[in-house]
Structure 1
Amino acid sequence: MTTSVRNGQKGRQPVMHTPPVVSPQAWEAARQQLLVKEKAQSHARDALAAERRRMPWMAVEKAYAFVGPQGNVSLLDLFEGRRQLIVYRAFYEPGVYGWPDHACRGCSMVADQVAHVAHLNARDTTLVFISRAPQADIARLKARMGWKMPWYTITDSFDGDFGVDEWHGTNVFYRDGDRLFRTYFVNNRGDEQMGNTWNYLDITPLGRQEVWEDSPDGYPQTPTYKWWNWHDSYVADAEPDKKWVEVSDVGEAAFRDQQGSAKP
Structure 2
Amino acid sequence: MTAALPRVVSPEEWASAREALLRKEKEHTRAGDRLAAERRRMPMVRFAKQYELAGPDGTQSLLDLFDGRRQLIVYHFMLYPGDEVGCPGCSLLVDNMSHPAHLHARDVTLKVVAPATPPEIERYWARMGWTIPWVSAAGTDFPADCGIDGGFGVSVFLRDGDDVYRTYFTDGRGGDQFVGTLRYLDVTPFGRQEAWEEEPRGTDAPSSWWRRHDEY
Matches of 1:94 and 1:67, distance apart in 2: 14
SS in structure 2 of the partner of residue 75 of structure 1: coil
The higher relative CO (CA closer than 8 Å, separation ≥ 6) is in 2
Matches of 1:93 and 1:59, distance apart in 2: 26
Aligned ranges for residues 141-220 of structure 1 at < 5 Å? 141-154=124-137, 155-195=139-179
Aligned residue number for residue 88 of structure 1:
75
**Which of 106, 116, 119 matches 1:136?**
119
Matches of 1:195 and 1:73, distance apart in 2: 28
Does residue 1:67 correspond to 2:54, yes or no? yes
Larger radius of gyration: 1
**Which of 82, 100, 105 matches 1:117?**
100
- The answer to whether the 8 A contact 1:115-1:195 is kept is no
Aligned residue number for residue 76 of structure 1:
63
1:161 deviation in Å?
A: 1.0
Matches of 1:129 and 1:195, distance apart in 2: 15
1:195 deviation in Å?
A: 4.7
SS in structure 1 of the partner of residue 63 of structure 2: helix
Aligned length: 180
Report % sequence identity.
48
Q: Please give the per-residue CA displacement for 1:41-63, whole angstroms capped at 9, x wherever unaligned.
A: 00110111111111111111222
Aligned residue number for residue 27 of structure 1:
14
Aligned residue number for residue 18 of structure 1:
5
- The answer to whether the 8 A contact 1:88-1:169 is kept is yes
SS in structure 1 of the partner of residue 113 of structure 2: strand
1:137 deviation in Å?
A: 2.3
- RMSD of aligned residue pairs (Cα, Å): 1.6
Letter in 1 for 2:65: L
Letter in 2 for 1:150: P
- The answer to whether the 8 A contact 1:88-1:129 is kept is yes
SS in structure 2 of the partner of residue 46 of structure 1: helix
1:23 deviation in Å?
A: 0.7
- Structure 2: 5+ residue stretches without partners: 184-216
- The answer to whether the 8 A contact 2:81-2:117 is kept is no
SS in structure 1 of the partner of residue 26 of structure 2: helix
Q: Please give the per-residue CA displacement for 1:216-254, whole angstroms capped at 9, x wherever unaligned.
A: xxxxxxxxxxxxxxxxxxxxxxxxxxxxxxxxxxxxxxx
Letter in 2 for 1:139: E
Task: List structure 1 runs of 4+ shifted beyond 6 angstroms.
Answer: none
TM-score (normalizing by structure 2): 0.79
Q: Please give the per-residue CA displacement for 1:148-199, whole angstroms capped at 9, x wherever unaligned.
A: 2111000311101111122100100000110111000010001121156xx9
TM-score (normalizing by structure 1): 0.65
SS in structure 2 of the partner of residue 18 of structure 1: coil
Letter in 1 for 2:129: G
- Structure 1: 5+ residue stretches without partners: 1-6, 8-14, 200-264
